[in-house]
Amino acid sequence: MSSDVDPGPSKFKGNQHRRGRLVDQHPELPRLIQKCIDEHVRQENIPDTLLKENGIKIGLRSVERIIQKHNLCTTRHSNLTDIEKVTAILSLVEDDPLGRWGGRRVKEKLALDTVHISLPQINDVQRTLNADAVSKRHPATRKVHKSGLFSSGPNEEWCIDGHEKIFESMGIGIYGIIDKYSRKELLLLAMRSVRRANIPPALYLRLVHELGGMPIQTTTDMGTETGILAALQTSLREQSFPELSLEVVPAHRSVKSVYNITRERNWRPLWEKELANVRYQYEAGKIEAGYHPADPIHQEVAVFVWGHLWVVGMSHTSRGDVYVAASVGLEGGPSHLE
């Protein structure tokens, strides 16, 4: 039976397929989902990540359908043969001549190139390639820490310090800022010197500007180069948070290096996993490159090139990892080379 009466808009809104497929509305969705996978976002967390970072509302089931339909690379479905997997692993570990990278780090680095291989497969290849290095990464005894670290929450305290392990051989120092609560590296910068008094406050202000906020407290060692930073942090704390007395919670703490525990603990894995390989490759390549240590031009070019190689290596990491890209200034401080 027909009727000329307009039924009006339906109260049933329909699902996403009646309104138009999500991929049609957001053609960049497959790329964004693959990026999340490469950055080690768990599949069940991808919808929340896409909503927060891209404003795209999507359900977990839709994510799974897109992964399947667009043949996105995952650990289970890597789209690689066994030979291609082994080749990818061997190609990557060429950058680790000292054998410092464990299976998890290799997996993270491969994933950033959309190469997804399971951890057991990586471990098998590494064990076959260099069994001694694998055994050294799994010692029979472990160091026992006799005291704990306490923090109220993220960004309550930033721990700041410089690192000179490779300074003498390469002319490059590193300055780092780390959050005590999360143990996350907030900023790492390569530079010519870590002992200039203008460097700590400059890096501190850069990070405050990038994050849009400041910590309740900063901690450094007792070096003379930290004096300006201590005064700056105290002044900003008094202006931005006058309710919290400086007598109750000091804005800045200057301690011996052995008590700047959060910062000092993170230097060791950074050195063992990354910087030791950089210095090894630097030393091994000097003779072949015809490097003359007494030539000031060679010195400056080496600092510029190797500083930026380190930057690339540190910035090529996974979401939430410890490293942030940096730059090397030839005049002794940080600079933007963009």
Summarised one tens digit per residue, pLDDT across range 153-204 is 899 999 998 887 766 677 788 888 999 998 888 988 888 777 888 888 999 9
Task: List beta partners, residue 157.
Answer: 217
In this prediction, what percent of the chain has a pLDDT beyond 70? 81
Question: What is the mean predicted confidence (pLDDT) over 42-54?
Answer: 91
pLDDT at site 207: 93
Question: Per-residue pLDDT for 129 more than 90?
Answer: no
DSSP label of 226: G
User: Do 167 and 307 have their domain in common?
Assistant: yes
Question: Per-residue pLDDT for 338 more than 50?
Answer: no
> Shortest CA distance to 170 belongs to which of 278, 319, 243, 27?
278
Confidence band (pLDDT; 50, 70, 90) for 57? very high
Question: What is the mean predicted confidence (pLDDT) over 274-290?
Answer: 81
Confidence band (pLDDT; 50, 70, 90) for 269? confident
Question: What is the mean predicted confidence (pLDDT) over 288-309?
Answer: 83
User: 32 vs 283, which has greater pLDDT?
Assistant: 32
Task: List beta partners, residue 191.
Answer: 173
User: Do 184 and 298 have their domain in common?
Assistant: yes
Which stretch of DSSP H or E encloses residue 253? strand 252-254
User: Do 176 and 285 have their domain in common?
Assistant: yes
Confidence band (pLDDT; 50, 70, 90) for 315? low
Say which CATH number the domain at 236 has: 3.30.420
**What's the length of the chain?**
338
Look up the domain containing 47 and give its range.
18-69
Among 123-127, 163-167, 190-194, 291-295, the minimum mean pLDDT is found in 163-167
Question: Per-residue pLDDT for 312 more than 50?
Answer: yes
Flag whether 331 is in a domain.
Answer: no
Flag whether 204 is in a domain.
Answer: yes
Flag whether 181 is in a domain.
Answer: yes
Question: What is the mean predicted confidence (pLDDT) over 246-254?
Answer: 92
User: Do 309 and 257 have their domain in common?
Assistant: yes
> Which sign does the torsion angle of CA 194, 197, 199, 204 carry?
positive
**Rounded Cα gap, residues 170 and 190, in angstroms:** 11
User: Do 26 and 110 have their domain in common?
Assistant: no
Confidence band (pLDDT; 50, 70, 90) for 140? low
Flag whether 142 is in a domain.
Answer: no
Number of domains in the chain: 3
> Which sign does the torsion angle of CA 239, 240, 244, 246 carry?
negative
Residue 75 C-alpha from the chain's centroid: 21
> Shortest CA distance to 87 belongs to which of 59, 121, 135?
121
Question: Per-residue pLDDT for 142 more than 80?
Answer: no
Flag whether 146 is in a domain.
Answer: no
pLDDT at site 5: 46
Q: Which tokens go with 322?
A: 């410890």
Question: What is the mean predicted confidence (pLDDT) over 95-101?
Answer: 83
**Rounded Cα gap, residues 126 and 93, in angstroms:** 9
Question: What is the mean predicted confidence (pLDDT) over 278-307?
Answer: 83
pLDDT tens for residues 8-34? 544 444 444 444 478 888 999 999 999
pTM, two decimals, is 0.58
Q: Which tokens go with 85?
A: 């997997």
User: Do 272 and 205 have their domain in common?
Assistant: yes
Pairing between β-strand 173-179 and β-strand 252-254 as defined by DSSP bridges: unpaired
In the three-class reduction of DSSP (H, G, I as helix; E, B as strand; rest coil), residue 189 is classed as strand
User: Do 226 and 310 have their domain in common?
Assistant: yes
Flag whether 152 is in a domain.
Answer: no
In the three-class reduction of DSSP (H, G, I as helix; E, B as strand; rest coil), residue 191 is classed as strand
Mention every residue, 6+ apart, whose C-beta is less than 8 A from residue 277.
Answer: 95, 96, 97, 98, 100
User: 294 vs 115, which has greater pLDDT?
Assistant: 115
User: Do 194 and 301 have their domain in common?
Assistant: yes
pLDDT at site 141: 54
Task: List beta partners, residue 187.
Answer: 177
pLDDT at site 87: 92
**Rounded Cα gap, residues 176 and 266, in angstroms:** 10
> Which sign does the torsion angle of CA 73, 77, 81, 87 carry?
positive
User: 271 vs 217, which has greater pLDDT?
Assistant: 217
Flag whether 321 is in a domain.
Answer: no
Confidence band (pLDDT; 50, 70, 90) for 316? low
User: 132 vs 107, which has greater pLDDT?
Assistant: 107
Last residue in a domain, options 69, 93, 128: 69
E-only strand ranges, 68-212: 157-163, 173-179, 185-191
User: Do 47 and 183 have their domain in common?
Assistant: no
Among 9-18, 81-90, 165-174, 254-263, the minimum mean pLDDT is found in 9-18
pLDDT at site 22: 83
Mention every residue, 6+ apart, whose C-beta is less than 8 A from residue 206.
Answer: 187, 334
User: Do 278 and 180 have their domain in common?
Assistant: yes
Among 13-17, 50-54, 162-166, 206-210, the minimum mean pLDDT is found in 13-17
Flag whether 165 is in a domain.
Answer: yes
CB-CB contact of 211 with 239 (8 Å): no
**Rounded Cα gap, residues 284 and 64, in angstroms:** 47
